[in-house]
C-alpha cells in the first residue's frame, strides 16, 4: 500500500470514528436532551437523506472536472460545520438545517473517497483497497460508538456537545490528511476502459451503459433488502414478532460488526480469485438463509432462547454478506467507468444507495412491525432476486471486469528464467521462454 493510499485509508477511518460518536445517539439527543420531541427528531434524520439526495446528482461532474481532492476537503469542512452546529442547536429549525449541512457533507465524501482510491490504485489492487476501507470504517464506527456511549449522559447536554465537537474535529482531520495526499497524474485519472472510444459523456452516456444500469438496479436491491432494514423493519420485526429485547438488538448489531471485522480479510483471498458476479450471487443466497433464520425467530415455535439465537444469526449472516460485497461492488463501479467519468459513476451509485436507504425503512418499518409473515417472505424473495440479477450482470461484463485477477501482473523472480514459460503467466507470446526477460513484469 503506497503512502497516498495509507493517508486516504487513515483519514477515512478517523472520519468514521467521529461519525460513530454521534449516529447512535441522534434521536435521543434531539428528542430528549434538546427536548424538541420525536417529530423534530424524525425531521432531523430525514434531513440527512434529503440533503444527500440533493447534493449527489451534482457532485460527480465536479469530481471529474476538478478532481476528488478539493471536493473531499470541501465536504470535510462542510460536514465539520454541520456537526458543530448540530451540537449547539437548541431549536427545531437550527437542528434540521445543521443536519442537512452535515448530511450533504458526509454524502459527498463517499464518491470523493472512492474516486481517490481509484486514482491511487491499479485495477488489480482495488479489491483489497476497498476491502480495507470497509474494514477500517466499520472498525471506526464501532469504536466511536463504544467510546461515545461511555461519554454521553442524557442529563448533561454538554456531554452530547462534546461528542459533536469530536466528530467535527475528525472531519477536519480527514480534510487535513487528504490535503497532503499527492495524487497521481496521467493514467491514474481514468477509471476503467473507455466505452466505445468516448471519454466523458455525462449522465446520458451512463444511462446507455447497460452493465452500469444493471449494477445500479442490483445495488438498489442490495441496499434496500439489507442495509435499509437494519435499524427499521428488521429491528421492529425482532421486537414485535420474535420478542427480542432492545439490549438483544444491540448484541445483534455487535454480532454484525464482529463478523465484518473478523471475516473481511479471511474472505478477501476467496473474492480476489472469483468472478465478481458469482460472489454477489452468493451474497443473495447467504442473505436468503439470513431471512429464513429471521422467519424461524419470529414465526417458529421454538423457545425464546432459540428465537434469540436465530435472530442474532440473521445479523451475523448479513455481516458475512457485507464482507463479501465490500471488495466486489465498489471496485466494479470503478472498472465500469469510462475515462474521465469515475466521479460521476461513483456519485450516481452513491445516489442509488441513498435512495435505497430512504425507501427501505419507509417500506420495511411498517411491514416488520405488523405484517410479520409477508415481511420475511418479501425480503427472502428480494435476496433470491439479488442472485438472479448478479448472474444477469455477469453476462454484460468483460472477463477483466468480472475477474481482474485474470489480468493481474505477475513478477518473475530474478535468477529463475525457467519460470517465464509457465502457462499460468500472463504475457505476450513472444516473451514466453526468453530467459533474458525473466526479471521483467509479464
Q: What is the DSSP string of 118-186?
A: HHTS-GGGHHHHHHHHHHHHHHHHHHHHHHHHHH--TT-HHHHHHHHHHHHHHHHHHHHHHHT-----G
355 and 218 Cβ atoms separated by less than 8 Å:
no
C-alpha 35/C-alpha 91 separation (Å) is: 9
* DSSP-assigned beta bridge partners for residue 411: 441
Output the pLDDT for position 209. Answer: 92
C-alpha 202/C-alpha 199 separation (Å) is: 9
Mean pLDDT of 271-292: 93
Q: Which three cell numbers stand for residue 44?
A: 432531523
* Residue 428 pLDDT > 60: no
Residue 121's nearest CA partner among 219, 192, 193 is 192
* Residue 233 pLDDT > 90: no
C-alpha 423/C-alpha 78 separation (Å) is: 53
C-alpha 71/C-alpha 237 separation (Å) is: 40
Output the pLDDT for position 172. Answer: 95
Mean pLDDT of 28-44: 85
Residue 332's nearest CA partner among 384, 270, 398, 426 is 398
pLDDT band at 231 (very low <50, low <70, confident <90, very high): low
* Residue 389 pLDDT > 60: yes
CA separation, residue 74 to residues 6, 79, 133, 403 (Å): 20, 9, 21, 35
Q: Which residues contact 437 (CB under 8 A, 6 or more apart)?
A: 420, 431
**DSSP code, position 413:** P
Q: Which three cell numbers stand for residue 260?
A: 465484518
Q: Which residues contact 218 (CB under 8 A, 6 or more apart)?
A: 280, 386, 389, 390, 393
C-alpha 44/C-alpha 95 separation (Å) is: 7
Burial class (CB in 10 A: 0-12, 13-18, 19+), 210: exposed
* Residue 225 pLDDT > 90: no
Burial class (CB in 10 A: 0-12, 13-18, 19+), 278: middle
C-alpha 273/C-alpha 402 separation (Å) is: 10
Query: What pTM was estimated for this model as a whole?
Result: 0.78
Output the pLDDT for position 106. Answer: 93
Q: What H or E segment, with its residue span, contains residue 238?
A: helix 233-240
pLDDT band at 272 (very low <50, low <70, confident <90, very high): confident
**DSSP code, position 348:** H
* Residue 423 pLDDT > 50: no
* Residue 264 pLDDT > 90: no
71 and 166 Cβ atoms separated by less than 8 Å:
no
Q: Which three cell numbers stand for residue 95?
A: 437542528
Within a 13 Å sphere around the CA of 204, how many CA atoms are in the beta-carbon half? 2
C-alpha 298/C-alpha 310 separation (Å) is: 9
* Residue 349 pLDDT > 50: yes
Within a 13 Å sphere around the CA of 145, how many CA atoms are in the beta-carbon half? 16
Q: Which three cell numbers stand for residue 67?
A: 478532481
* Residue 327 pLDDT > 70: yes
315 and 253 Cβ atoms separated by less than 8 Å:
yes
Q: Which of 74-88, 330-344, 373-387 has the lowest mean pLDDT?
A: 330-344
* DSSP-assigned beta bridge partners for residue 441: 411
Query: H helices of 34-125, where?
Result: 37-66, 68-88, 92-119
* Residue 112 pLDDT > 60: yes
Q: Which residues contact 149 (CB under 8 A, 6 or more apart)?
A: 24, 25
Q: At what angle do helices 342-370 and 233-240 cross, to 10 degrees?
A: 20
Mean of the per-residue pLDDT values for the chain? 82
Mean pLDDT of 264-285: 89
Amino acid at each position: 500500500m503506497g503512502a497516498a493510499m495509507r493517508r486516504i485509508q487513515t483519514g477515512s477511518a478517523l472520519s468514521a470514528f467521529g461519525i460513530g460518536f454521534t449516529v447512535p445517539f441522534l434521536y435521543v439527543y434531539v428528542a430528549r436532551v434538546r427536548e424538541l420531541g420525536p417529530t423534530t427528531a424524525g425531521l432531523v434524520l430525514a434531513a440527512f437523506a434529503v440533503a444527500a439526495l440533493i447534493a449527489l446528482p451534482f457532485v460527480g461532474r465536479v469530481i471529474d472536472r476538478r478532481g476528488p481532492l478539493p471536493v473531499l476537503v470541501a465536504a470535510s469542512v462542510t460536514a465539520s460545520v454541520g456537526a458543530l452546529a448540530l451540537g449547539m442547536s437548541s431549536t427545531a429549525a437550527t437542528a434540521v438545517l445543521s443536519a442537512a449541512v452535515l448530511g450533504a457533507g458526509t454524502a459527498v465524501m463517499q464518491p470523493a473517497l472512492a474516486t481517490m482510491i481509484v486514482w491511487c490504485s491499479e485495477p488489480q489492487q482495488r479489491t483489497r483497497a476497498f476491502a480495507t476501507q470497509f474494514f477500517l470504517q466499520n472498525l471506526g464506527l464501532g469504536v466511536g460508538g463504544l467510546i461515545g456511549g461511555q461519554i454521553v449522559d442524557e442529563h448533561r447536554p454538554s456531554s452530547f456537545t462534546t461528542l459533536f465537537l469530536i466528530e467535527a474535529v475528525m472531519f477536519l482531520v480527514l480534510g487535513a490528511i487528504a490535503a497532503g495526499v499527492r495524487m497521481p497524474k496521467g493514467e491514474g485519472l481514468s477509471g476503467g476502459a473507455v466505452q466505445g472510444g468516448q471519454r466523458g459523456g455525462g449522465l446520458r452516456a451512463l444511462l446507455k451503459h447497460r452493465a452500469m444500469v444493471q449494477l445500479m438496479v442490483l445495488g438498489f436491491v442490495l441496499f434496500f433488502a439489507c442495509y435499509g432494514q437494519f435499524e427499521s423493519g428488521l429491528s421492529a420485526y425482532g421486537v414485535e414478532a420474535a420478542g427480542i429485547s432492545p439490549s438483544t438488538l444491540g448484541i445483534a448489531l455487535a454480532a454484525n460488526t464482529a463478523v465484518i471485522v473478523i471475516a473481511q480479510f479471511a474472505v478477501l483471498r476467496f473474492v480476489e480469485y472469483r468472478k465478481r458476479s458469482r460472489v454477489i450471487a452468493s451474497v443473495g443466497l447467504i442473505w436468503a438463509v439470513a431471512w429464513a433464520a429471521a422467519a424461524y425467530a419470529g414465526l417458529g415455535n421454538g423457545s425464546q432462547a432459540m428465537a434469540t439465537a436465530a435472530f442474532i444469526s440473521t445479523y451475523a449472516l448479513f455481516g458475512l454478506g457485507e464482507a463479501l460485497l465490500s471488495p466486489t461492488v465498489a471496485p466494479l463501479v470503478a472498472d465500469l467507468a469510462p475515462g474521465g467519468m469515475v466521479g460521476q459513476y461513483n456519485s450516481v451509485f452513491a445516489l442509488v444507495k441513498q435512495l435505497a436507504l430512504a425507501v427501505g425503512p419507509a417500506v420495511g418499518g411498517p411491514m416488520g412491525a405488523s405484517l410479520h409473515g409477508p415481511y420475511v417472505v418479501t425480503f427472502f424473495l428480494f435476496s433470491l432476486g439479488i442472485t438472479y440479477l448478479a448472474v444477469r450482470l455477469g453476462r454484460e461484463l468483460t472477463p477483466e471486469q468480472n475477474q481482474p485477477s485474470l489480468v493481474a501482473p505477475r513478477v518473475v523472480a530474478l535468477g529463475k528464467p525457467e519460470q517465464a514459460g509457465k502457462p499460468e503467466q500472463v504475457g505476450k507470446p513472444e516473451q514466453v521462454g526468453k530467459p533474458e526477460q525473466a526479471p521483467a513484469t509479464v
